[in-house]
């Protein structure tokens, strides 16, 4: 009788658990957990690594960080929270991530997603932060976003791009290299066919090149 009950129990489990007879049980349980948004179902997975991945996917699906708290490894828990922050575009959650590299990744991804260079500025690695701010600046043509860039060369390049995109020579004045200021203004003047703007350029050679460029374009029309 005892063996009959055991066999019956196994049959019932097999009927109620479609993953029990699957050749890829882990993939099956992971899919079930995410679809049901059930962190408890992640416990069925066969390894800590797979469980961590499952908790992260469920957290993203639910849009909250509770499943992340079940991850014992601080680094993995931090990256779980960061991914939820990015998925939900929650800037407060992003800044609340305590694991440094996870917060940097969160700020990098979310700063670009919501086009907020102030988030980028909190990234600890300057080159990583600069790339983030530069991408935001180019997306929204924002001189303010350029101002967050640490690298002088990249910041000046950013101002040059934004000045041209906004057709605003006043932005050129924020560039810290005089020659670049002059060429920034010249490019806008030539685009406008504005000889008067060319005349405002202090450097004689750039001023002459600006006027020549406009005359060349006018003669071609």
The whole-number mean pLDDT for each consecutive block of 10 residues of the chain, a chain of 221 residues, reads: 49 59 80 92 93 96 96 95 96 92 96 96 96 98 98 98 98 96 98 96 96 92 61
In a domain, 159, yes or no: no
In a domain, 188, yes or no: yes
Helices (H), the chain: 2-16, 25-36, 48-62, 74-88, 91-96, 100-113, 117-120, 126-140, 143-146, 152-166, 178-192, 195-199, 204-220
In a domain, 221, yes or no: yes
Q: What is the pLDDT of residue 71?
A: 96
Q: What is the DSSP string of 12-64?
A: HHHHH-TTTT-TTHHHHHHHHHHHHT-SGGGGGSSSHHHHHHHHHHHHHHHTS
| Domain around 203 | 177-221
The total domain count for the chain is: 1
Q: What is the pLDDT of residue 59?
A: 97
In a domain, 210, yes or no: yes
Give the Cα-Cα-Cα angle 200, 206, 210 (nearest 5 degrees): 75
Q: Say what the pTM is.
A: 0.81
In a domain, 53, yes or no: no
Q: What is the pLDDT of residue 19?
A: 83
């Amino acid at each position: 009788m005892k063996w009959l009950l055991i066999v019956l129990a196994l049959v019932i489990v097999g009927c109620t658990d479609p993953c029990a007879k699957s050749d890829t049980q882990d993939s099956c349980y992971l899919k079930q957990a995410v679809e049901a948004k059930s962190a408890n179902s992640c416990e069925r997975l066969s390894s800590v690594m797979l469980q961590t991945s499952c908790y992260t996917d469920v957290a993203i699906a639910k849009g909250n960080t509770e499943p992340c708290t079940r991850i014992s490894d601080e680094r993995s828990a931090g990256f779980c929270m960061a991914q939820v922050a990015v998925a939900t575009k929650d800037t407060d959650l992003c800044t609340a991530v305590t694991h440094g590299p996870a917060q940097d990744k969160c700020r990098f991804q979310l700063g670009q997603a919501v086009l907020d260079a102030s988030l980028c500025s909190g990234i600890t690695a300057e080159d990583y932060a600069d790339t983030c701010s530069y991408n935001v600046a180019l997306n929204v043509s924002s001189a303010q976003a350029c101002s967050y860039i640490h690298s002088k060369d990249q910041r000046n390049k950013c101002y040059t791009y934004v000045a041209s995109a906004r057709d605003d020579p006043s932005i050129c004045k924020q560039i810290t290299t005089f020659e670049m200021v002059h060429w920034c203004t010249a490019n806008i003047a030539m685009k406008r066919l504005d000889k008067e703007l060319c005349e405002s350029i202090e450097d004689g050679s750039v001023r002459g090149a600006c006027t020549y460029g406009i005359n060349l374009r006018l003669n071609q029309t």
